[in-house]
Amino acid sequence: MSFLLVPALSACTSKVFDGPMQLSGKWVSSDTLNLGHDTYMNHCMQCHGIDGDGKGPASPGMKPPPRSFRYGKAPYGEGSGVFIKFANVTSGEMPNDDDLKRIVRYGLRGTPMLPWDISDERLEAVVQYIKTFAPTAWKEPGATPVKLTSDPWTGREQEAIALGKKLYHGVAQCFSCHPAYASLEEISAASKEFTGNPIDSIRENPHLSENQDSSYGVKFMPPDFTKSWIRSGNKASEIYRLLGAGVGGTTMASWKTTLSMTGDEKEAEERLWAVAHYVESLHQLKYDDKARQTFFTELNAKRAAK
């Protein structure tokens, strides 16, 4: 039934807005919003829903579920605003149009949210339109984007990966949510090297992710990089950007400036890049069954040896 409604609605809704709206700190014309509405009804509504609640006709059973454009920022819930995971702003801050455009243009790998090859004009319009589902929250301009530096490890990737492995396990302890990819001995030695403190026990089943609450009304499983998708991009540079921002509305916080024990900004950046290279190297195993098997055979042998 609802499928019959779709073409009828999209054919007769070109004039929904008759005045401009203030979104992300600037006035957006009704022409743009009407074009955005038209684009949305044709390309997005099936999943994200007529009312932007993520409950479109194609949404049932989808994992992850299509995002509700009405969810978001603390205190969270309907109408409270920001609903973006992969913006390049410190997790929880207002995203910028560039973030929304990148996400719609490139899609989210491994999810039903595909890359959209629409004109720049329609892209701009639909990005403005989706904000109208939470107009109060989207009134404020976007936050200052997280500053990006260039890769200090070019030509020294192996060194970066080795350092990244130690930081992942011994300093950031990413394995409190994601899997550990090292034996307890290696983890403890890395922790001792960087923080002075050995680690004598870790959580049960460290080879599995721990399911996490989110602000989107559902739980998310942090990816196992050797088999899950990295949605916002799997190149070291994209992982680096993600680590600096965190994942909005989830327990994955920003790691910018946190990885230097002395608060040295340059060192923190080098280390963030090193962790990004390490995660990229783990993710390459997803595409190479044989290498993945060898990796886990060796790791399990190390884990069993003692």
Binding site for ligand HEC (CB under 6 A): 43-44, 46-48, 58, 62, 64, 66-67, 84-86, 100, 103-104, 108, 111-113, 116, 126, 130, 168, 172, 174, 176-178, 212, 220, 222-223, 230-232, 239, 242-243, 247, 250-252, 255, 275, 279
Nearer to ligand HEC, 137 or 275 (CB): 275
Task: State in angstroms the smallest separation of the CB of 151 from ligand HEC.
Answer: 16
Rounded CA separation 125/118 (Å): 11
| Count of all residues that appear for the chain in the document | 306
Rounded CA separation 293/289 (Å): 6
Q: Retrieve residue 10's tokens.
A: 């999209």
Task: State in angstroms the smallest separation of the CB of 109 from ligand HEC.
Answer: 8
Rg (CA), the chain: 22
Task: State in angstroms the smallest separation of the CB of 162 from ligand HEC.
Answer: 15
Task: State in angstroms the smallest separation of the CB of 68 from ligand HEC.
Answer: 10
Nearer to ligand HEC, 43 or 292 (CB): 43
Nearer to ligand HEC, 3 or 290 (CB): 3
Q: Which residues of 105-125 are buried (b: 16+ CB within 10 A; e: fewer)?
A: ebbbeeeebeebebeeebbbb
Rounded CA separation 75/72 (Å): 8
Task: State in angstroms the smallest separation of the CB of 44 from ligand HEC.
Answer: 3
**Do 188 and 198 meet the contact criterion of CB atoms below 8 Å apart?**
yes
Residue type present at position 259: L
Nearer to ligand HEC, 201 or 290 (CB): 201
Nearer to ligand HEC, 67 or 73 (CB): 67
Of 153, 66, 75, nearest to 112 by C-alpha is 66
Nearer to ligand HEC, 271 or 304 (CB): 271
Task: State in angstroms the smallest separation of the CB of 171 from ligand HEC.
Answer: 8
Q: Retrieve residue 81's tokens.
A: 């605003």
**Cis (ω within 30 of 0) for the bond into 145?**
no
**Do 226 and 279 meet the contact criterion of CB atoms below 8 Å apart?**
no
Nearer to ligand HEC, 21 or 87 (CB): 87
Task: State in angstroms the smallest separation of the CB of 149 from ligand HEC.
Answer: 17
Rounded CA separation 195/201 (Å): 16
